[in-house]
Chains A and B, each alone.
Chain A
């Protein structure tokens, strides 16, 4: 089916998330929408899927104008969407999830899941999905859940499939499998709108790439364009893609984590006897697919997560059992994974946010009063040092863009004398320009001799920053490998294969078949913004 968007605009109040967008998706074409977070890709797709009503413009299917008052209409017209956050009911079976909304029934509205099961098996066999119709969705790995979403669209006979940031939650191997599935779907005549900000994947699979920036279509280009070209189009200026960090000069092992174990109230082990150390002047990156214990690990060190067993020693001092304040005072700088919830009090001013952890001590606090002059001076200095784009330090933190918010958090945490710096998802949802800046700051902190721990689900970021890489899988450290370990090996380790086996397998596949277009190291950093919007 051929899809055409003509002059689509979507305004929220006076703000235009989409402005006069024209887009043409041909029959059996993989059309990529490339753009940074907040560029308006998802808004556009929600308009197309009937979740939003366009302020202006029209949608044409095979040349006929259509109007959708809700997702039901869009589905009926042959449009299917796989959302970034899966729209699956976790406690339902695969068959129940797929039947939902278009159930086959016997007399009296009694569910007939047999028909649905048969359809699932058909599609599953055709594309080699290997999905059990009676499995409970929450027990399935993320990659399989995504296939359930795709089956859901195919069962409803979608001719156009929208995939919204589908690779954000996948391991590199799962990503490759998904790209293969997309090619198969295309061969069967399905058109695909592929939303992404990851240049590697976009170039590997697209027929046409449309770049969107600040709600407007910038250009449509062919996938042969270089990553630098695409990155420049996406950001709107030329981007420096290479970090060029110097080799690490590790000193003593200052942080020693031993057998750290966390069991959540429901009784499942989220962190399982994790043991590692970090040396002075070294960046240890913790890699892994989201939800494998990363959050628990950082929070257990900080003290916001109850530890079941194990110890965390910083320069010989035990941190487990200490209050968060004591841990911070011991010299731990902490950038939480969700800055707007845990990193900032968004209603507070930038000035106040910059001293959230220091307000009670000199020079900012004295007795029961705060020294407002010192706070103001500090803010002026930090805003200059970290290039925070704002016209007034008294503006609330919520007025800042994602990148600038992250700069405020980072500035605050780095303003103390640190013995350990932990940054969780340091560049999630941050624009490319700020990523560059934040990365340089992290490396600068390392070069001062501070041990640094980076937790990131973005493999590109891990590979860019790390001197050593620890891979977390189901709450266990599945091996610690050098920073220059290949993407293939890391990908396998993220899926639970041990370091040694992963190295062997990667060697084997390299000679066997061509992996998805490898990107040279120097062109990598553009992929690093996160998936959250």
Chain B
């Protein structure tokens, strides 16, 4: 018998990507932030106005602490190379810890080198949440649509449509809540077009989405110049949603302002994240939605109406994104301006992927992007050695690295983007 039974497998080492990234980070921190860093101390304040009790300020000597962090990171990098040699994968907590250490080292380095060497960590985080609100709503819209098998590129258009409609309706009625509801309807209308063309007429979902973004941008831009600017008093001075402080709880340092000092939309955000997560993973509705997004034919053979499910999910996604858009004009900014959403719909799309199509993951990803956004604002104010143009790039750099490098191979719903046609 010419049998060549089971030879030993050829061993192939795991990818070099993680060790290389860790080494690069360690080298940057040790040399650039540490040895070449500024020897002033960086101060991080933890309190904001109205806190119930005071926390001490965190003080880091710039050079020394970054040399220590650099050494820790070098140790992590060496460990990762050794693990790779043993064909083992690196524990996730080491990667997470390295990422946090890197962010910390970066903060210490910029703050220690800035004109004002104190920043408020509390307001940095609170501001991050505020900037993340539209991103969170946008990414929830993306999750709702993609989980059902429809790719929603039109998040940007839904946010923008929501922002415009909220401003217009709230100005006309002098009622912010009417604006909020109108924003939801506007988002749903954008979704209806997406659903109609992608589900009924089987047009490529990406193309419909892109076209919708351009369409909404055009319409709102046109109405802004022809209607709103004619009489801003009447058409573009929206009533605002108040910030509601929950007594006592809002006075807790750091987390108080984040969780208990929000506008109605802010509270709605936390609620929506939970509801979408619970709905998708714990209910009958969610099981059916996910089945439709993964294997529509299987769902069909079990008597589930695939296209109807998709239609309603896309509509629901539109409502969510529309409400998110209203945050721009009802809370954040005084009035509507052209392109007020400024590409945040696309960042929300990145948050969907970075968050692995999970509402909670998308929420955390959106927070990260919000953090990068706010950090850039604050660092520009305190006058860092880094040119402000580079700082302005930061949210987008973080997005690219997050989506391309750090997520690993994440797998979206199998049938996302594919129309379902019965034979």
Which A residues form the contact surface with B (CB < 8 A)?
A: 49, 51, 70-73, 75, 81, 83, 86-92, 96-97, 99-103, 105, 108-111, 259, 261, 263, 265-267, 269, 272-273, 275-276, 308-310, 468, 476-482, 498-500
Contacts and interface: CB of A to CB of B under 8 A. Distances in A.
B387 interface: no
B303 A71 contact: yes
Nearest to B7: A273
Nearest to B8: A273
27 contacts: A49-B301, A89-B298, A90-B414, A91-B294, A92-B294, A96-B287, A99-B287, A100-B299, A101-B288, A103-B284, A109-B283, A110-B282, A110-B283, A110-B284, A111-B287, A261-B12, A263-B12, A266-B409, A269-B12, A308-B10, A309-B10, A309-B12, A476-B7, A477-B4, A479-B3, A479-B4, A480-B3
B5 interface: yes
A109 to B, nearest CB: 5
B284 A90 contact: no
Given A75-B303, A101-B299, A478 B5 contact: yes
B304 interface: yes
A275 B303 contact: no
A83 B300 CA distance: 13
A109 B4 contact: no
Contacts of A273: 7-10
Contact of B6 (A75, A87, A100, A498): A498
B294 A480 contact: no
Contact of B283 (A111, A478, A500): A111
Contact of B301 (A87, A269, A500): A87
A275 B302 contact: no
A482 B1 contact: yes
Contacts of B194: none
Given A81-B301, A87-B298, A109 B284 contact: yes
Contact of B9 (A51, A72, A272): A272
A162 to B, nearest CB: 11
A499 B7 contact: no
B291 interface: yes
A111 B282 contact: yes
Contacts of B409: 265-267
Contacts of A482: 1
A307 to B, nearest CB: 11
Interface of B: 1-10, 12, 14-15, 282-288, 290-291, 294-295, 297-304, 409, 414, 423
B7 A269 contact: no
Given A71-B301, A273-B7, 9 more contacts: A88-B298, A89-B298, A92-B287, A101-B288, A111-B286, A267-B409, A273-B10, A476-B9, A500-B5
A71 B296 CA distance: 14
A102 B304 CA distance: 10
B302 A269 contact: no
Nearest to B286: A111
Given A89-B291, A478-B5, A479-B3, A72 B303 contact: yes
Nearest to B283: A109
Given A103-B287, A105-B284, A71 B300 contact: yes
A146 to B, nearest CB: 14
A259 B414 CA distance: 33
Nearest to B300: A71
B160 to A, nearest CB: 33
Nearest to A98: B302
A102 B423 CA distance: 24
B6 A478 contact: yes
A275 B283 CA distance: 50
B163 to A, nearest CB: 33
A70 B284 CA distance: 20
Q: Ordered nearest first, which 10 A-B pairs have the shortest CB separation? A: A72-B303, A101-B302, A87-B298, A103-B284, A89-B295, A109-B283, A89-B294, A87-B301, A71-B301, A109-B284
A101 B303 contact: yes
A441 to B, nearest CB: 27
A222 B382 CA distance: 91
A259 B10 contact: yes
B214 to A, nearest CB: 34
B8 A92 contact: no
Contacts of B304: 100-101
A276 B4 CA distance: 8
B12 A308 contact: yes
Contact of A70 (B7, B282, B285, B303): B303
Nearest to B288: A100
A265 B12 CA distance: 13
A51 B295 contact: no
A87 B297 CA distance: 7
Contact of B3 (A109, A259, A310, A481): A481
Contacts of B7: 259, 273, 275, 476
A269 B4 contact: no
Nearest to B9: A272
Given A87-B298, A87-B302, A480-B3, A109 B291 contact: no
A139 to B, nearest CB: 14
A103 B304 CA distance: 12
B312 to A, nearest CB: 14
